[in-house]
Amino acid sequence: MRVTRTIAEYAKLREMARGRVAFVPTMGALHDGHRSLIRLARSLGDLVVVSIFVNPLQFGPDEDYAVYPRPLEVDLDHCAAEGVDIVFVPTVTELYPAGRQVTVSAGALGRAWEGESRPGHFDGVLTVVLKLLNIVAPDVAVFGQKDIQQLACIQRMVVDLNVPVEVVAAPIVRDADGLALSSRNVYLSPAERSLALSLSTALEKAATQTSVPAARAAAYETLERAEDDPAFALDYAALVHPTTFAELPDHYAGPAVFAVAARVGRTRLIDNVSMTVR
Ligand code: AMP
């Protein structure tokens, strides 16, 4: 496994690469969710590239950029165990040298839901993802459905800007109790962790319903109970269209995404489930 910190060194490795390159961009603090993406990439390509970069552009001023976990040695062990070929670990100045001006705008999709709570977040995500795709030059890139609106923004960008890459979505990996794996779960106390389960429980209940109103009612019942605890603050719970993220009318039939975000203690968590309503 090669670990490279510069664009120039990566470019030399890329030039020598033969066959399909499969890419998994991450912010590190790798867990089984990331590892499942790497395994999927392994099945899609001859050469697997993982990037580890905590992207300052996608964090708001009051968010956890400074304290975001960065256990690089452990991350490299995870990558080695999954048979990753190249790990690209750029510094902030390598990706954002002084003087840069041009960024990507995620448009209206980037301002809804997550984007409303985190202004500029998806612009920051798309800017770094486009840069990484240009640098890594993969044939296929794998993104998790855990960040479902991010995935939709990336798919939109790839279409709208004619980015020559195949985007593959990977299913959400959860702990045995249902909590979606997240690098931010390490922030949770045991009490907060059990409170956080309201998110996956609400989604599970919604997913067994067959209509828009029934799915909403099922999720809200669980989420309202969680809100009795002052440590739980719901941000949004929305049943939306999987590509536009427009909220669905009661009579809608077709594919849907139930997306939720909440603050549990000081930790902001997101989760979602894909479903079909009639
Ligand atoms: P991050 O390091 O949080 O930026 O995530 C890197 C990639 O891993 C993104 O495509 C995420 O959607 C994906 N990911 C994170 N957590 C999970 C999970 N629990 N299941 C599946 N994919 C995940």
Ligand 1, atom 22, residue with closest C-alpha: 144
Task: Spell out the per-residue pLDDT of the chain, length 278, in tens.
Answer: 999 999 999 999 999 999 999 999 999 999 999 999 999 999 999 999 999 999 999 999 999 999 999 999 999 999 999 999 999 999 999 999 999 999 999 999 999 999 999 999 999 999 999 999 999 999 999 999 999 999 999 999 999 999 999 999 999 999 999 999 999 999 999 999 999 999 999 999 999 999 999 999 999 999 999 999 999 999 999 999 999 999 999 999 999 999 999 999 999 999 999 999 99
Question: For a pocket test of ligand 1, which of 26, 32, 34, 57 has the largest count of ligand atoms closer than 8 A to its C-beta?
Answer: 34
Distance (angstroms) between ligand 1 centre and the Cα of 192 equals 21
Q: What is the pLDDT of residues 105-118, one digit of tens each?
A: 999 999 999 999 99
Distance (angstroms) between ligand 1 centre and the Cα of 150 equals 10
Ligand 1 atom closest to the CA of 31, numbered from 1: 16
DSSP 8-state secondary structure symbol assigned to residue 180: B
Beta strands in the chain (DSSP E): 2-4, 21-26, 47-52, 86-88, 140-144, 166-170, 232-240, 254-264, 267-277
Q: Quick count: other Cβ atoms within 10 Å of Cβ 231?
A: 16
Regarding the beta carbon of 170 and ligand 1, being less than 6 Å apart is answered yes
Distance (angstroms) between ligand 1 centre and the Cα of 73 equals 19
Strands 47-52 and 166-170: unpaired
Q: In the structure encoding, which two tokens stand for residue 41, read together?
A: 């990439």
Q: Does residue 45 contact residue 39 with C-beta atoms inside 8 Å?
A: no
Taking the model in full, what pTM does it have? Answer: 0.98
Distance (angstroms) between ligand 1 centre and the Cα of 159 equals 22
Q: Please tell me which residue in 31, 34, 121, 251 is annotated as part of the active site.
A: 34
34 is catalytic: yes
